[in-house]
Chains A and B, each alone.
Chain A
Amino acid sequence: MKPISIEDKLAVNKYDVDKDVHIKVNEDICKECEHHYCLYICPADCYKLREEHITFSYEGCLECSSCQIICDKDAIEWALPRAGFGVCFEYG
Chain B
Amino acid sequence: MKQRFDAIVVGAGPAGCACGYKLAKAGLEVLVVERGKFAGAKNMWGGAFYGPTLSELLPDFWEEAPIERYVASNKFSFLTEDTCLSVEFTAGKFGQPPYNGFILLRSKFDRWFATKVEQAGAIVAAGLQADSLLRDGNRVVGIKAGGDELPADVVIACDGVNSILAQEAGLRGEILPRNVKQGVKEVIQLSRETIEQRFNLSGDEGIAWEFIGACTKGLPGGAFIYTNKESLSVGIVVELSALAEKGIKANDLLDGFKEHPAVANFLADGKLVEYSAHLIPVSGIDMMPTLYTDGFLVAGDAAAFVVGTGLILEGANFAIASGVSAAETVIRAKKRDDFSTESLAYYQELLEKSFVLKDLKTYRKAPRFLENPRIYSSYPELACDLAERIFTNDGKPRKKTWKLLREAMKGRVSFGQIARDLMKGGGAI
Contacts and interface: CB of A to CB of B under 8 A. Distances in A.
Which among A69, A87, A90 has the highest number of chain B CB atoms within 10 Å? A69
Nearest to A63: B42
B274 A90 contact: yes
B251 interface: yes
Interface in B238-255: 240-241, 243-244, 246-251, 255
A1 B279 contact: no
A49 to B, nearest CB: 12
A80 B165 CA distance: 13
B279 A66 contact: yes
B272 A40 contact: no
B108 interface: yes
Contact of A3 (B164, B255, B269, B276): B255
B348 interface: no
A9 interface: yes
Contacts of B210: none
Interface in A34-92: 35, 37, 39-41, 43-45, 62-66, 68-70, 80, 82-84, 86-92
Interface residues of A, number: 36
Interface string B127-157: 1110000000000000000100000000000
B279 A91 contact: no
Contacts, number: 139
B107 A90 contact: yes
Nearest to B161: A65
A83 B128 contact: yes
B249 A92 contact: no
A91 B273 contact: yes
Which among A44, A65, A83 has the highest number of chain B CB atoms within 10 Å? A83
B259 interface: yes
A13 interface: yes
A91 B231 contact: yes
Q: What's the dominant secondary structure at chain A's contact region?
A: loop
B275 A9 contact: yes
B205 interface: no
B249 A43 contact: yes
B106 A89 contact: yes
Interface residues of B, number: 61
A37 B244 contact: yes
Nearest to B263: A1
Contacts of B233: 91
A89 B258 contact: no
Interface string B95-125: 0000000000111111000000000000000
B107 A92 contact: yes
B361 to A, nearest CB: 25
Nearest to B248: A40
Contacts of A44: 277
B42 A89 contact: yes
11 contacts: A1-B259, A41-B243, A43-B251, A45-B251, A63-B42, A65-B279, A66-B240, A83-B128, A87-B41, A89-B41, A92-B43
Interface of B: 35-37, 40-45, 105-110, 127-129, 146, 161-162, 164, 174-177, 180, 182, 184, 186-188, 228, 231, 233, 240-241, 243-244, 246-251, 255, 258-259, 264, 267-270, 272-279
Given A1-B264, A66-B180, A84-B36, 19 more contacts: A1-B269, A4-B255, A12-B273, A13-B276, A41-B240, A41-B250, A43-B182, A43-B184, A64-B277, A65-B279, A69-B176, A80-B164, A82-B129, A84-B127, A89-B106, A90-B107, A91-B44, A91-B273, A92-B106
The 4 closest A-B pairs by CB, nearest first: A92-B106, A92-B107, A83-B129, A43-B277
